[in-house]
Amino acid sequence: MAEPGRVVVNLINPAGRPASVLPPEAIEPLRTAGWQVRERPLPRGASAGDLAASIGPEARAVLASWGCPPFTPEVHAALPRLGFIGYCAGSVKHLVGPATFERGVAVVSAAPVIALGVAEYCLAVALWSLRDLGASVAGLASDPGRAGWGRGKSAASRSLWGRSVGIVSASSTGRGFIRLLQPFGCDIAVYDPYLDEGAARALGVRRADLDEVCGQSVVSVHAPNLPATQGLVGRAQLARVPDGGLFINSSRPGVVDYGALAEELRAGRFRAALDVFPQEPLPPDSPLHGLPGVVLTPHVAGYSADVYARIGREVVADLLRWDAGQALQMGVDFRRWELLA
């Protein structure tokens, strides 16, 4: 039975999403624990005023996701009992700010769950691209007979085993990719000004400067979108990617000089797998379309139906931990705000 004063408002609008981040079975533990769950899905384009009105002054907790307006000081003033914001998505930089933390509101983000999906994507595209499986699939599709069978064996196919890998930023997605690479015996070099020697040893990697990292056989960008990271991987760094190498970007487009990247890819020096772009959706006339050895995906690195379902379960689990006075597993630490994606 719901207990008075324990109100959680679910703002998530599943419309337009291929899978729900908060299916009914994920919410049920809240009801079992005595929470009153109010379903108030926000429409697309909702304002801060709509946000406050939808939540209401009685709410102790809120569950939100992509498209939610920001929790401004004015919104917080209208929500005197609010103590927990569970964000069933990634970065909270646009959602909350100092006013949220000054009021003692606990903020949870599903970024660690999404990071696992991004890491898996990076491994998948690394294997696909290095093995040149696109050419193999196309060769067989062009002729199901013996000729197509022969064309399926690409001379450009390479293994991931023992290959040198450069990781730009030991962020949550970077660390996830590092863990997945470990069975392949890769020599992993990481550029991250905040990664100390002890942490590098614990990850099984070595620290290196940005130029050295960009000179590895596989280069994967995982840097957060910060003023200091804008254009971090520019023309000079891209020129260091070796011929026949692989460049992966699943982080943020602003970290990479996409004009210089397009020039390199048109020249065919190295392959690439790109999931983020300066303009999304990627325009039909983008010079990136149709380039051999280039895998383009529509910002789906963190997505899979089961990852989405796990997002809601983990956020709800942290709400129950908060209610019980226990440590949060996915809490946002405001002391690291300037370093967060």
Question: For residue 97, what pLDDT is reported?
Answer: 95
Q: Longest Cα pair distance anywhere in the chain, in angstroms?
A: 72
Q: Tell me the one-letter amino acid at 159.
A: S
Ramachandran category for residue 86: left, alpha or beta (phi over 0 → left; psi -120 to 50 → alpha)? beta
Among 7-21, 168-182, 206-220, 235-249, the minimum mean pLDDT is found in: 7-21
* Domain 7-109+304-339, classified CATH 3.40.50.720, yes or no: yes
The residue with tokens 């933390």 is 101
pTM, full prediction = 0.92
Residue 4 structure tokens:
């008075």
The two domains 7-109+304-339 and 114-296 share their CATH topology (first three levels equal): yes
Residue 3 banded pLDDT, cuts 50, 70, 90 = low
Pick the CATH number of 114-296 from 3.40.50.720, 3.40.50.300, 3.40.50.1820, 3.40.605.10: 3.40.50.720
> What average pLDDT does range 230-249 have in this prediction?
98
State the average pLDDT over residues 175-192.
Answer: 98
Q: Which of 32, 53, 29, 39 is nearest to 9 (CA)?
A: 39
Least confident stretch, 147-151, 193-197, 232-236, 329-333: 147-151
Nearest to 238 by CA among 310, 320, 168, 162: 168
Dihedral sign computed on CA atoms, order 171, 177, 182, 185: negative
Residue 51: per-residue pLDDT:
97
pLDDT digits (tens, 9 = 90+) for 266-293: 999 999 999 999 999 999 999 999 999 9
DSSP character for 283? P
* Tokens 């209610």, residue located: 323
Residue 120 pLDDT: 98
Distances (CA, A) of 316 to 1, 37, 99, 320, 323: 18, 12, 23, 6, 11
Torsion sign over Cα 45, 115, 71, 52: positive
Amino acid at 284: P
127-144 pLDDT tens trace: 999 999 998 888 888 888
Cα separation, 225 vs 234, in Å, equals: 15
Residue 240 has pLDDT above 50, yes or no: yes
Q: What angle do CA 94, 100, 102 make, to 5 degrees?
A: 140
Q: How many CB atoms lie within 10 A of CB 181?
A: 24
Confidence class for position 1, pLDDT limits 50, 70, 90 = very low
Q: What is the pLDDT of residues 65-98, one digit of tens each?
A: 999 999 999 999 999 999 999 999 999 999 999 9
**What span, in angstroms and rounded, lies between the C-alpha atoms of 313 and 20?**
11
Closest alpha carbon to 7 in 40, 46, 49: 40
Q: Where are the domains of the chain?
A: 7-109+304-339, 114-296
Task: Kindly give, in sequence order, each residue whose CB lies less than 8 Å from that of residue 16, ignoring residues fewer than 6 positions away.
Answer: 44
CA-CA distance, 263 to 241, in Å (whole number)? 13
The answer to whether 127 touches 256, Cβ cutoff 8 Å, is: no
Measured between alpha carbons, how far is 311 from 19 in angstroms, rounded to an integer? 11
The enclosing H or E element of 106 equals strand 106-109
